[in-house]
A and B are shown apart, each in its own frame.
Chain A
Amino acid sequence: MSETRKLDFTSFRERIGDLRGREYWRSLEELSRSDAFDEFFQSEFPQQALPLAKGVDRRSFMKLMGASVAMAGLTACRPPGETIIPYVNQPENLIPGKPMYFATAMPLSGYARGVLVESHMFRPTKIEGNPEHPASLGASDAQMQASILGLYDPDRSQVVRHMGEISTWSEFIAALQPVLNQERAGAGGLRILTQTVTSPTLGAQIERLQAEYPGLGWHQWEPAGGDALREGARLAFGGFANVLYDFTRANVIVSLGSDFVEEGPAHLRYARDFASRRRVRQGERDAAMNRLYAIESSPTSTGSIADHRLPVKPSQIESMARAILAALGGGSAGEDTHAPEFIAAVAKDLLASRGASIVIAGDHQPPAVHAIAHGINQALGNIGSTVMVIDSPEVRPVNQLESLRQLVTDINAGAVRALIILGGNPVFDAPADFNFKAALQKVPFRAHLSLYNDETSLLSHWHIPETHYLESWGDARAYDGTATIMQPLIAPLYNGRSAYEVLGAMLGALNTSPYTAVRNHWFERGTTEETWRRALHDGLIAGSALPPRTVAASGAVPASGPAQAAGGIELEIRPDPTIFDGRFANNAWLQELPKPQTKITWDNVLLIGPGTADQIGFGVDERSALFNELKTRVVEVEYRGVKVHLPVWVVPGHAEGAATIYLGGGRENGGRIAGAGTNIYPLRPSTAMWGGAGARITLTSRAPYPIGCTQEHQSLDPKLVGERGIIRDATYQHYLGNPNFVQDYEHQIEQVAGLENSNESLYPPFAYKGHAWAMVIDTSVCTGCNGCVAACQSENNIAVVGKDEVVRERELHWLRIDRYYKGDPANPQVYHQPVPCMQCELAPCEPVCPVQATSHSEDGLNDMTYNRCVGTRYCSNNCPYKVRRFNFFGYSDYDTPALKAMRNPDVTIRTRGVMEKCTYCVQRINHGKIEAEKENRRVRDGEVVTACQQACPTQAIVFGDMNDPSSHVAQLKKEPTMYALLGELNTRPRTTYLATIRNPNPELVPAAATAAGEHH
């Protein structure tokens, strides 16, 4: 074994210094450069070639082959006949074979995000963002994309249950009557528990219910709701309010633990607005780039695109915030003088951008941090300019933790006679010290409306299946108050009922139609038939956004809270980036989606920094031996008397002395796959909802735990990363002086690799006379959110393979986002690089296919013809970009009836033994071409968008026809920062990249680092 194994963190850091042409790295494994790791990279799918348990002898081989030949004979039978079932009365405007689009909204934690739903003969198949909706602007995230799978999920609850036995809706109503009668007679003790409610109709229903039953108590609970935001606004503005930010006008942004591009009801909007100030284009030098400082503990997407990222312990964020406020002349700094030069530079930058800066606190920061952030914005004159304050769009904003605490207290006092739970899963996600599970069982009558027959349903007398948001009429407000009428795309698949119906039943109507409820609500408030139709068409009610309030944040800085018990490791708890608080745990797309920063699938792990790893005894040696990217050790986390076992994961850039865990894993009764990961809600008492100090982490002697981390799966050879300029970056200042800096890398490639950029080819040149489809990806604005990956999965019917297969590197995502680091593992720069098929003009995969299953189209697409493929995998072996995916088994589900309706009818379902890969969404291209040809014109720029491009919140992906000189993509191809991945191989990729440009503060960039940035 090589001596590089003997490494500790210190020598690790030293090694960064002598990387020479290898300053970029993807994982800590790669840095250690052990022999085994190099070997790991030599095969195409390093984990695929599992030897057979015992060798096959000649006789068995003949038997198997004989059987195969005999079976082959069977295939000569002709394919089975099909039927066509037309309508009896065809709906107006329906053209069979052409999808229709309907506007609605996806509510998450109460807040609406506008969506357009593609519907094939009234089967919803794909979710897109609604370009007119302020919270989406046409973009979508992974949770929106995956909600289509959530709709069809065969594990959703399908019947009303009473004590676990199948029952009916009318029996539930009958059982409810005595409860209501008692309440009417004044018995008291009827309570409802909802999630966050922004729906005006639902709000009005609850109000009417409370008018009818004056004693009715209404509680709200969301495990990852915005309590801190609400309380922070209350501290600063003296009442509940929502604070909105306008990133298009901010030159300097400071994030105090905020992941504004990834979390919260406005993150799509914020990501787009933020990116609008980060695109560096030739000839647009006046539009100055913004600058983002991120002060955070756990690595987030926002931190990964920041110009300066400062990892600090979670508890230090508040003192950093105080220090910034103090440096601006308000309040007094605490005793913590962490990174004073950083604070000084931030303060100076903020002062230079008075009225054009934003200080934003994270959703899960304590209210005090929010109040300080609002105070800083006030001091800088940002409020009213880049920061707007509106009334809360929630029907009745409350402190939800206190609301739930009140409910539990009342239950324990015997004051609750009946509890109707509308959505949510408090048995799973209530704070551990509330002991909600025991409390709930003391309620004499309990009913639960939910999508799944889940943990809470099991302990309720009545369970009513809930409708999915695509199945019911409804309404909801967005982050800025904009109201959307949600229209159903399909009748309830599984006999679901909505909250409107349950409340309607409590109001005395056996069968309330949600349509009538919503329609009546709005018509009573001035909506007319015309405006109603307009609202349904647009997906929002025009002018319903709440007006900005003219308020000032109180200058009073909240006193620092009681010092937390020192010692131990600080724990940070966050909602999971994919499965959120656990509600999406049964969604296989989200479970298998690599988490943006760690690329882990199907698990929640304990994230720690490399220094902390050394501290707990999980050193580089052992990590290398285990292949950190494949397996890891299990640790015991002891926090406030509760012990949980979790796999540990070392992530560069995590604050040392702190650890992060994601909520949502380890569901007990959430569906067949919801059990993935570990339940960490027991670690979450009401006193430390988002973590705190005093955790103890001990390495256990349990067997190494396999992890489906996709970063080192099918990615480029690490040896190429530095010497071939896979990632190219510069500072904004450097770019202004030398816009052609990417060319410097070409010289480097010639020198280091001895390769010249040659255009010679054995094949005669081909003139692309028609279209020449191409893509440009701007790595400057990619946040690595994985929305594109989920969109691709939905558009192209990509199968899910499961954790065991992901561990064997067989995941099928056509598009992956490679994550690269540069610099010190304690706080590296992060680069995201989405890698779809490069659609090479001289594609190495094509000549090696023995059956011509992959060939070139006249538009320059690298076609993959599934029905010709015999599965030799030569193409994948020959692909330098590793973008081809192979169906080792029959991963596509051909049997589940519900899933058949979900699939995109324009894309073939791939079976076992077939290679597949990104097609540039050729079904969309062909559709665009046919529509244009019918009108005897060329395809217009923007007429064909790929699924990834459509989803991207930051518009990092641009696709179009290179042969159309006016197209956006043709313009971008002329940018000086444009470069091709491994262009020296003369593959002539059609997908190219724009180099990453960051805008660091010159005062903070060490002289050495600046030199490093310029040495190319």
Chain B
Amino acid sequence: MAQIFHRSANTLSRVTIFGAVFIAGFALWAIGAVVRSPYFTRQGIQLDQPVQFSHQHHVGGLGIDCRYCHQSVEASSFAGIPPTSTCMNCHAQIWTNAEILEPIRASFANGTPIVWNRVHQLPDFVHFNHSIHVAKGIGCASCHGRVDKMNLMYQASPLTMSWCLDCHREPEKFIRPREEVFNMEYVPVNQEELGPRLVEEYAVKKLTSCSTCHY
């Protein structure tokens, strides 16, 4: 009777058995790498927007405060996206014929809202509250980066849970004086000394219970 298996079957079976371990390992590593990659987290990706709004111009150039547009940031979980009327406060007077602002004028005239593409997007099972972070001395730039230098808005941080926990475990490394929260250019002078003092002063708690964010 002839042999059922060819001689190469020996090698093939060895490669398959040993390979299985590595393939499985590689697959796990690959999944991990993908979910932490900017492709998945959207870190650093500029999305198309109906109006090419430049934070660099408005914040860095003109010096408009964050809260002029994101007005509920100190009161609510949601920082707020400005209504068309906020844009028109100025643009009824200046750049009234600029082509780039046509969607704004159309929105204001027709009463149809502008549909922005969301840049900072948390999963639905995470509940984040802006107002408490601002009240406890976490600067806008700590999470959103140097918005005053962004021509088009993008997500500066990965917004992964481990990134959240970096600060929730060691707030003293990131906290800043309350009056500096909206200052884009703030650079800490002596964080090792200042951090623990502010944590004490603002009664900042190291909240790492699941139900702090997940419910």
- Interfacial residues, chain A to chain B (CB-CB below 8 A): 76, 78-79, 81-90, 95-98, 770, 855-859, 861, 863, 865-868, 906-909, 919, 922-923, 926, 930, 933-934, 936
Q: How far is the CB of B42 from chain A (nearest CB, A)?
A: 7
Return chain B residues, CB-CB under 8 Å to A856.
Answer: 209
Contact with A along B1-44 (1 / 0, CB 8 A): 00000000000000000000000000000010011000110100
Contact A865 B83 (CB under 8 A): no
Contact A97 B209 (CB under 8 A): no
Contact B75 A98 (CB under 8 A): yes
Contact of A926 among B39, B78, B136, B212 (CB under 8 A): B212
Contact B123 A79 (CB under 8 A): yes
Contact of A922 among B85, B107, B132, B215 (CB under 8 A): B215
Given contacts A922-B211, A926-B215, contact A83 B84 (CB under 8 A): no
Contact B121 A89 (CB under 8 A): no
Contact of B72 among A97, A861, A923, A926 (CB under 8 A): A97
- Rounded to whole angstroms, the CA-CA distance of A65 and B143 in the bound complex is 41
Return chain A residues, CB-CB under 8 Å to B83.
Answer: 86-90
Q: Is B129 in contact with chain A by the CB < 8 A criterion?
A: yes
- Rounded to whole angstroms, the CA-CA distance of A82 and B120 in the bound complex is 9
Return chain B residues, CB-CB under 8 Å to A933.
Answer: 132, 135-136, 203
Which residue, of A88, A867, A934, has the highest number of chain B Cβ atoms within 10 A?
A88
Q: How far is the CB of B77 from chain A (nearest CB, A)?
A: 4
Q: How far is the CB of B209 from chain A (nearest CB, A)?
A: 3
Return chain B residues, CB-CB under 8 Å to A922.
Answer: 211, 215
Return chain A residues, CB-CB under 8 Å to B129.
Answer: 926, 930
Q: Is B114 in contact with chain A by the CB < 8 A criterion?
A: yes
Return chain B residues, CB-CB under 8 Å to A907.
Answer: 215
In the complex, residue of chain A having the shortest beta-carbon distance to the beta carbon of B201: A936
Q: Is B116 in contact with chain A by the CB < 8 A criterion?
A: yes
- Rounded to whole angstroms, the CA-CA distance of A86 and B88 in the bound complex is 14
- Rounded to whole angstroms, the CA-CA distance of A550 and B185 in the bound complex is 77
Given contacts A78-B40, A866-B125, A867-B123, contact A88 B85 (CB under 8 A): yes
Contact A906 B127 (CB under 8 A): yes
Contact A84 B210 (CB under 8 A): no
- Rounded to whole angstroms, the CA-CA distance of A97 and B129 in the bound complex is 9
- Rounded to whole angstroms, the CA-CA distance of A84 and B50 in the bound complex is 12
Contact with A along B82-125 (1 / 0, CB 8 A): 11110000000000000000000001100111111110010111
Which residue, of A89, A859, A906, has the highest number of chain B Cβ atoms within 10 A?
A89
Contact B209 A859 (CB under 8 A): yes
Return chain A residues, CB-CB under 8 Å to B34.
Answer: 76
Q: How far is the CB of A588 from chain B (nearest CB, A)?
A: 23
For chain B, the bracket of interface size reads 35 or more
What are 30 of the A-B contact pairs (CB < 8 Å)? A76-B40, A78-B39, A78-B40, A82-B118, A83-B116, A84-B81, A85-B115, A86-B80, A86-B82, A86-B113, A86-B116, A87-B113, A88-B111, A88-B113, A89-B85, A96-B78, A96-B80, A96-B81, A98-B72, A855-B210, A857-B210, A863-B209, A863-B210, A863-B211, A867-B123, A906-B127, A922-B211, A923-B127, A926-B212, A930-B131
Contact A79 B108 (CB under 8 A): no
Return chain A residues, CB-CB under 8 Å to B135.
Answer: 933-934
Q: Is B205 in contact with chain A by the CB < 8 A criterion?
A: yes
Return chain B residues, CB-CB under 8 Å to A936.
Answer: 203
Contact B42 A78 (CB under 8 A): yes
- Rounded to whole angstroms, the CA-CA distance of A96 and B131 in the bound complex is 12
Given contacts A88-B111, A865-B214, A934-B131, contact A857 B125 (CB under 8 A): no
Contact of A908 among B72, B116, B215 (CB under 8 A): B215
Q: A909-B124, A926-B129 are in contact. List 5 more A-B contacts (CB 8 A).
A: A82-B118, A85-B113, A86-B81, A98-B72, A868-B210
Contact with A along B126-162 (1 / 0, CB 8 A): 0101011001100000000000000000000000000
Return chain A residues, CB-CB under 8 Å to B39.
Answer: 78
Contact A84 B118 (CB under 8 A): yes
Contact B209 A858 (CB under 8 A): yes
Q: Is B46 in contact with chain A by the CB < 8 A criterion?
A: no
Contact B121 A76 (CB under 8 A): no
Contact of B209 among A82, A857, A930 (CB under 8 A): A857
Q: How far is the CB of B175 from chain A (nearest CB, A)?
A: 14
Contact with A along B190-215 (1 / 0, CB 8 A): 00000000000001010101111011
- Rounded to whole angstroms, the CA-CA distance of A907 and B212 in the bound complex is 13
Q: How far is the CB of A567 from chain B (nearest CB, A)?
A: 60
Q: How far is the CB of A60 from chain B (nearest CB, A)?
A: 23
- Rounded to whole angstroms, the CA-CA distance of A102 and B72 in the bound complex is 21
Return chain A residues, CB-CB under 8 Å to B209.
Answer: 855-859, 861, 863
Given contacts A83-B117, A88-B113, A865-B210, contact A919 B76 (CB under 8 A): no
In the complex, residue of chain A having the shortest beta-carbon distance to the beta carbon of B86: A90
Q: How far is the CB of B72 from chain A (nearest CB, A)?
A: 5
Contact A81 B214 (CB under 8 A): no
- Rounded to whole angstroms, the CA-CA distance of A98 and B129 in the bound complex is 11
Return chain A residues, CB-CB under 8 Å to B210.
Answer: 855, 857, 863, 865, 868
Q: Is B47 in contact with chain A by the CB < 8 A criterion?
A: yes
Contact A95 B76 (CB under 8 A): yes
Return chain A residues, CB-CB under 8 Å to B80.
Answer: 86, 95-97
Q: How far is the CB of A471 from chain B (nearest CB, A)?
A: 22
Contact A934 B118 (CB under 8 A): no
Contact A95 B85 (CB under 8 A): no
Return chain B residues, CB-CB under 8 Å to A90.
Answer: 83, 85
Contact A96 B76 (CB under 8 A): yes
Given contacts A95-B75, A933-B132, A934-B135, contact A919 B211 (CB under 8 A): yes
- Rounded to whole angstroms, the CA-CA distance of A84 and B136 in the bound complex is 26
Contact A934 B205 (CB under 8 A): no
In the complex, residue of chain A having the shortest beta-carbon distance to the beta carbon of B205: A770
For residues 39 through 89 of chain B, which have their beta carbon under 8 Å from a beta carbon of chain A? 39-40, 42, 47, 72, 75-78, 80-85
In the complex, residue of chain A having the shortest beta-carbon distance to the beta carbon of B214: A865
Given contacts A930-B132, A934-B135, contact A85 B116 (CB under 8 A): yes
- Rounded to whole angstroms, the CA-CA distance of A856 and B215 in the bound complex is 13
Return chain B residues, CB-CB under 8 Å to A855.
Answer: 209-210
Contact A97 B118 (CB under 8 A): no
Q: How far is the CB of B114 from chain A (nearest CB, A)?
A: 7
Contact B31 A76 (CB under 8 A): yes
Return chain A residues, CB-CB under 8 Å to B31.
Answer: 76
Q: How far is the CB of A427 from chain B (nearest CB, A)?
A: 44
In the complex, residue of chain A having the shortest beta-carbon distance to the beta carbon of B134: A934
Return chain B residues, CB-CB under 8 Å to A923.
Answer: 127, 215
Q: How far is the CB of B81 from chain A (nearest CB, A)?
A: 4
Contact A857 B115 (CB under 8 A): no
- Rounded to whole angstroms, the CA-CA distance of A981 and B83 in the bound complex is 53
Which residue, of B80, B112, B210, B214, has the highest number of chain A Cβ atoms within 10 A?
B210
- Rounded to whole angstroms, the CA-CA distance of A867 and B124 in the bound complex is 10
Return chain A residues, CB-CB under 8 Å to B207.
Answer: 858
- Rounded to whole angstroms, the CA-CA distance of A865 and B121 in the bound complex is 19
Q: How far is the CB of B61 from chain A (nearest CB, A)?
A: 23
In the complex, residue of chain A having the shortest beta-carbon distance to the beta carbon of B114: A86
Q: How far is the CB of A946 from chain B (nearest CB, A)?
A: 13
Return chain B residues, CB-CB under 8 Å to A97.
Answer: 72, 76-78, 80
Q: How far is the CB of A864 from chain B (nearest CB, A)?
A: 8
In the complex, residue of chain A having the shortest beta-carbon distance to the beta carbon of B111: A88
Q: How far is the CB of A839 from chain B (nearest CB, A)?
A: 11
In the complex, residue of chain A having the shortest beta-carbon distance to the beta carbon of B113: A85
Return chain B residues, CB-CB under 8 Å to A909.
Answer: 124
Q: How far is the CB of A68 from chain B (nearest CB, A)?
A: 14
Return chain A residues, CB-CB under 8 Å to B117.
Answer: 81-84
Return chain A residues, CB-CB under 8 Å to B212.
Answer: 857, 926
Query: Which 5 A-B pairs give the minimum distances between C-beta atoms?
Result: A97-B78, A857-B209, A97-B76, A87-B83, A863-B211
Contact B108 A88 (CB under 8 A): yes
Contact B132 A934 (CB under 8 A): yes
In the complex, residue of chain B having the shortest beta-carbon distance to the beta carbon of A89: B85
Q: How far is the CB of B213 from chain A (nearest CB, A)?
A: 9
- Rounded to whole angstroms, the CA-CA distance of A89 and B84 in the bound complex is 7
- Rounded to whole angstroms, the CA-CA distance of A934 and B178 in the bound complex is 12
- Rounded to whole angstroms, the CA-CA distance of A856 and B82 in the bound complex is 39
